[in-house]
Structure formats: structure tokens, C-alpha cells
Amino acid sequence: MRAYLFGTGLLSAITGGVTLLRTARSDEPFTWRTALAWLSWGITLALAIGSVVDTRRARRAKLIPLDSPVEGDQKRLLRERLKR
């Protein structure tokens, strides 16, 4: 579980969210650029979580979508898990 929670994608999405929260607390008005930044952060977070879920499913020999970043590595991930 530690490998999933401390993955670089998830950590970068969380730190990006913290940065956005700090800027939201300032006295600047909410503009369309701010809205796009929040939308971008939401998409980044969703992709990072999806990648974690796909990796976990691949290691447990379950089906994952063909557009997943770990789609070609299923056998290798399963072998690594079975070694442990």
C-alpha cells in the first residue's frame, strides 16, 4: 500500500492542490484562469488515482483497460508479486 500512496504522480497532484489552496486563500478574485487551474488539478488527481488502481489490479491478475499505462506490464507485475 505504501508504494501506491507515495507514488510520484499522487504526490505531485497533492502538492499541486496545496499550492492551489494557498493561492485561493489570497485576496485575488476568482478568474477563468483560476477555474482552469482547478480543473487541471482535478484531472491530474483523477489520472494519478486511476494509475494507482490499474497498477494494483494488474498485480492481482485482474483485467485492466487497454488504455492503461501499465497495460503491457501485467505479466511482469504479477511475477514480481508472486515472487514476494
> pLDDT tens digits for 12-30?
888 899 989 988 888 888 8
Cβ neighbours for 34, distance < 8 A, ≥ 6 positions apart:
23, 24, 28
Cβ neighbours for 61, distance < 8 A, ≥ 6 positions apart:
74, 78
Q: Residues 33-80: pLDDT tens digits?
A: 989 999 999 999 998 888 888 777 777 777 666 666 666 666 676 677
Predicted pLDDT of residue 78: 67
DSSP assignment, residue 25?
A: T
Predicted pLDDT of residue 49: 86
**22 vs 82 pLDDT, higher one:** 22
Predicted pLDDT of residue 2: 63
